[in-house]
Amino acid sequence: MTRPVLQAAVVGATGYVGLELTRLLLRHPRLKPPLLLTRDSAGNGGGQLADLFPHLSGNGTQSLEPFSWSKLHARGVDLLFLATPHEVARAWVPEAVGRGLRVIDLSAAWRLRSPDYRAPYQFTDADPAAAEAVSERAVYGLPELVRDCLPDAQLVANPGCYPTSVILALAPLVRAGLIDVERGVVCDAKSGVSGAGKQPTPQTHFVEVADNFRAYSVFTHRHRGEILEQLGLSPAQLVFTTHLLPIPRGILSTIYLYLRRPLTPGDIEQCLGEFYAGSPFVRVFSPPRLPEIQFSLGTNYCDLGLALDADGRRLVLVSCLDNLLKGAAGQAVQNMNLLYGWDEQEGLG
């Protein structure tokens, strides 16, 4: 039996992503019960997580405690997970790094290097030079692409849910030089409502979402820069349009592109399969079968499928994942496993 060795802390366990993360950490064989912290550092708040989420009852007493740096030190915290708003992580991570903590940040605070792509978040850093130094050290934690970099990382910027689905689908073809990028790539992505977070908005009320389907943030979605930066595409080479599905969770991205030369479905399947041969959480479906949201729900898998037109040049890729797991909390645990040299799949079965 594996002996628990790591003390982790989670800030933001009461959100959708934070709850999924806490659930995974509670059953991870190498972790002590995680310290669950609220963002309120004034000593208010608290209570039991099971009071908010009764389905966690029976996992032992999981108290919510106010955040403080001294508490992290006193409890021997090795790893800090931040499931907080972007601006909170942007403010806290430099101090966490300075205190020697390893951090996995599930917000977008440290994912982007380019100031242009970071601009939509409107970060205001108290010390811009220190923030830039931290940003330079951050590892964009898409394990399938940076697995070898993770053991030495102090700060992991956990990818966004939409970018994970799109980048994993396109990266093998981009790196192989197979896409005619000058003809453009179109990503038509759809997500369940939990992708918008727990804080309600007029657009996420039941009456607005049920029996409805709509596009949003056309040409302005903040995840677009993340996709461009990681794939090395220019803004003119990508159209990325997001849609809100009337379901709780799940993402399906349909991606349309032209190939530089005629290929067969077998060629594309081989390209994807060889690229992800050592990646246990990417499943490549053989044509004509295509992924569906229901196949990946509740798992840490990203499912990829393809359909190639008879001309051998017009390709459609379909990518599905659970936005709260492979798109967020599950990927964070996958990153943790690789940080510490554990089996990538540990705690995610």
| 144 and 216 in a common domain | no
Q: Kindly state whether residue 3 falls inside one of the protein's structural domains.
A: no
| 253 and 215 in a common domain | yes
| 145 and 20 in a common domain | yes
CA–chain centroid gap for 61, Å, is 28
Over pLDDT 70: what percentage of the chain?
96
Q: Kindly state whether residue 1 falls inside one of the protein's structural domains.
A: no
Q: Kindly state whether residue 245 falls inside one of the protein's structural domains.
A: yes
Q: Kindly state whether residue 176 falls inside one of the protein's structural domains.
A: yes
| 234 and 144 in a common domain | no
User: Average pLDDT for residues 71-83, to the nearest whole number?
Assistant: 97
Instruction: Quote the number of domains for the chain.
Output: 2
Among the listed residues 161, 271, 302, 320, the single catalytic one is: 161
Question: Which domain range does residue 28 map to?
Answer: 8-158+328-339
Q: Model's pTM, two decimal places?
A: 0.95
Q: Kindly state whether residue 242 falls inside one of the protein's structural domains.
A: yes
User: Average pLDDT for residues 84-89, to the nearest whole number?
Assistant: 96
User: Average pLDDT for residues 159-172, to the nearest whole number?
Assistant: 98
Contact at 8 Å (CB) between 323 and 300? no
Q: Residue 58 pLDDT more than 70?
A: no
pLDDT at 44: 53
CA-closest candidate to residue 251, choices 314, 293, 188, 312: 293
Query: DSSP letter string over 278-310?
Result: T-TTEEEPPTT----HHHHTTSS-EEEEEEE-T
Q: What is the CA radius of gyration of the chain?
A: 20
| 148 and 170 in a common domain | no
The CATH number of the domain where 105 resides is what?
3.40.50.720
Q: Residue 47 pLDDT more than 90?
A: no
| 260 and 113 in a common domain | no
Name the β-bridge partners of 94: none
Enumerate residues 6+ apart whose C-beta is below 8 A from 84: 11, 12, 39, 92, 106, 107
Q: Kindly state whether residue 136 falls inside one of the protein's structural domains.
A: yes
Q: Residue 1 pLDDT more than 70?
A: no
Alpha-carbon torsion, ordered 23, 16, 281, 222, to 10 deg:
-150
| 167 and 249 in a common domain | yes
Q: Kindly state whether residue 346 falls inside one of the protein's structural domains.
A: no
Tokens of 157: 């910027």
Q: Residue 46 pLDDT more than 70?
A: no
Based on the residue annotation, tell me whether 271 is a catalytic residue of this protein: no
| 236 and 299 in a common domain | yes
CA-closest candidate to residue 315, choices 257, 272, 276, 275: 257
Contact at 8 Å (CB) between 263 and 312? yes
| 104 and 170 in a common domain | no
* Distance of alpha carbon 267 from alpha carbon 77, whole angstroms: 48
If you search the block for the tokens 């991870």, which residue do you land on? 28
| 274 and 333 in a common domain | no
Contact at 8 Å (CB) between 160 and 145? no
- Average model confidence (pLDDT) for the chain? 94
User: Average pLDDT for residues 198-212, to the nearest whole number?
Assistant: 84
| φ/ψ bin of 250: left (φ > 0), alpha (ψ from -120 to 50), beta (otherwise) | left
Q: Kindly state whether residue 75 falls inside one of the protein's structural domains.
A: yes
Q: Residue 89 pLDDT more than 80?
A: yes
| 263 and 172 in a common domain | yes
| 39 and 13 in a common domain | yes
**CA angle centred on 323, ends 293 and 348, rounded to 5°:** 95
Tokens of 225: 């820069």
Name the β-bridge partners of 65: 37
pLDDT in tens, 238-279: 999 999 999 999 999 999 999 999 999 999 999 999 999 999
Contact at 8 Å (CB) between 93 and 105? yes
The CATH number of the domain where 270 resides is what?
3.30.360.10
| Per-residue DSSP letter, 9 | E
